[in-house]
A = this chain, B = another copy of it.
Amino acid sequence: MTVQSLPEARDLSHHLNDLARNRFPSPLKDIFRQMQRPGIISMAGGLPHPSLFPFVDASVSVYPPNGDLSGPIPPVSDRMTLNFQKYPSSKGTVDLSTILQYGSCEGLFPLREWVRKYTLDVYQPAYSNFEILLHEGNTSAWTKVVRLLCEPGDMILCEEFTFPSAMAVWVPLGCKAVPIKLDGQGMRADHLEKVLANWETSHPGLKRPHVMYVVPVGSNPTGSTMQAERRKAIYEICARYDIIIAEDDPYTTLQFPEFDLSAPAAEVVHQSGEDFAKSLVPSFLHYDRDGRVIRLESFSKVISPGARLGYFVCNPLFAERLLRATEVESQTPSGWSQGIIYSLLEAWGQAGYLSWLSRLRDVYQSRRDGLCAAIAQSFTALPARDYAAGVEGAEGIALYHAGTDPKSIKPDQRPVATFVPPTGGMFLWLSFSLSLAPRFRELVAQGVEDPEKQFMDEFWQALAENLVLLTPGSYYVPWEGKDKITTGARGAAREIGYLRFAFSYEDPDVMAEGIKRMQQVVSKMFD
Contacts and interface: CB of A to CB of B under 8 A. Distances in A.
Interface in A25-69: 27, 31, 34-35, 37, 39-49, 51-63, 69
Contacts of A440: none
Interface residues of A, number: 106
12 contacts: A27-B164, A37-B464, A43-B505, A45-B505, A48-B300, A54-B344, A57-B60, A102-B306, A136-B136, A308-B331, A308-B333, A308-B334
Given A55-B340, A100-B305, 8 more contacts: A22-B174, A41-B510, A43-B469, A43-B505, A45-B502, A54-B303, A140-B330, A165-B327
Interface in A70-87: 73-74, 79, 86
Contact of A137 (B22, B168, B331): B331
B336 A306 contact: yes
A475 B103 CA distance: 20
Contact of A308 (B42, B332, B511, B513): B332
Contacts of A173: 19
B63 A54 contact: yes
Contacts of A287: none
Given A58-B58, A60-B55, A69-B52, A306 B334 contact: yes
A502 B56 contact: no
A511 B502 CA distance: 58
B511 A43 contact: yes
B305 A47 contact: yes
A23 interface: yes
A273 to B, nearest CB: 15
A224 to B, nearest CB: 15
A514 interface: yes
B340 A220 contact: no
Given A41-B513, A46-B426, A56 B34 contact: no
A101 B427 CA distance: 18
A501 B24 contact: no
> How many of these chains are in the complex?
2
Given A139-B330, A306-B335, A62 B69 contact: no
Given A62-B54, A102-B305, A303-B54, A46 B140 contact: no
A168 to B, nearest CB: 4
Contact of A165 (B39, B61, B306, B328): B328
A103 B306 contact: yes
A270 to B, nearest CB: 16
A171 to B, nearest CB: 7
A329 interface: yes
A394 interface: no
A505 B47 contact: yes
A143 interface: yes
Given A46-B220, A511-B41, A22 B329 contact: no
Contacts of A48: 300-301, 304-305, 426, 504-505
B304 A55 contact: yes
Contacts of A79: 56
Nearest to A141: B330
Contacts of A205: none
Contacts of A37: 464, 467
Contacts of A21: 172
A59 B59 contact: yes
